[in-house]
C-alpha cells in the first residue's frame, strides 16, 4: 500500500530530526513534491536538503517554488536567500527583509526559523551563507 503524502512527509521530517543524512532524504521529499506539487512546505524541505548537500542550483529551484506557492513563509524566504547566496545570485536582501517582516509579527515562526537555522549550522558548521542570513535576521 502506498503511503499518503502526509504520512510520507511526516516520516521524512521524523527521519531528518532523528539525524538521518540529508542526502538519503532527498528522494523522500522529491516524491512528496511530485505527489503534492502545491505543498510549499514540501518544496521548502526539499530546498533545505539540497542546500545541506551542496546542491545550490537544485536548492534554488525548489526554494523558488516554495516561495511562489507561499510568499509569506519566512522559512521559504530564508531558504531562497541562502540558495541565492550559495549559487552566487543577486537580489538576496529582498527575501531576507520579507522573512524578517513576517518574523517580527509572528513570534512562533521566528522561533521555528531560528531553530532551523541553528540546526543547519550544526549539521554544516562552515555554511557561510546561512551564517550571514542568520546575522541579518538577529
Can you give the pLDDT of all 138 residues of the chain as single tens digits? 678 999 999 999 999 999 999 999 999 999 999 999 999 999 999 999 999 999 999 999 999 999 999 999 999 999 999 999 999 999 999 999 999 999 999 889 999 999 999 999 999 999 999 999 999 999
Inter-residue contact 113 to 103 (CB < 8 Å): yes
Angle, helices 40-52/56-69, rounded to nearest 10 degrees:
160
pLDDT tens column, 28-56: 999 999 999 999 999 999 999 999 999 99
Whole-structure pTM value: 0.94
From 93, 94, 79, select the one nearest 41 (Cα to Cα).
79
From 120, 51, 115, 134, select the one nearest 86 (Cα to Cα).
51
Amino acid at each position: 500500500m502506498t503511503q499518503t503524502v502526509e504520512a510520507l512527509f511526516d516520516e521524512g521530517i521524523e527521519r531528518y530530526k532523528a539525524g538521518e543524512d540529508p542526502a538519503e532524504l532527498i528522494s523522500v521529499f522529491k516524491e512528496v513534491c511530485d505527489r503534492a506539487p502545491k505543498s510549499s512546505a514540501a518544496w521548502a524541505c526539499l530546498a533545505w536538503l539540497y542546500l545541506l548537500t551542496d546542491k545550490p542550483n537544485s536548492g534554488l529551484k525548489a526554494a523558488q517554488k516554495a516561495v511562489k506557492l507561499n510568499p509569506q513563509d519566512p522559512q521559504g524566504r530564508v531558504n531562497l536567500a541562502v540558495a541565492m547566496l550559495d549559487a552566487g545570485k543577486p537580489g538576496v536582501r529582498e527575501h531576507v527583509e520579507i522573512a524578517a517582516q513576517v518574523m517580527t509579527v509572528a513570534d512562533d515562526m521566528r522561533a521555528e526559523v531560528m531553530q532551523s537555522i541553528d540546526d543547519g549550522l550544526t549539521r554544516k558548521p562552515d555554511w557561510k551563507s546561512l551564517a550571514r542570513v542568520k546575522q541579518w535576521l538577529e
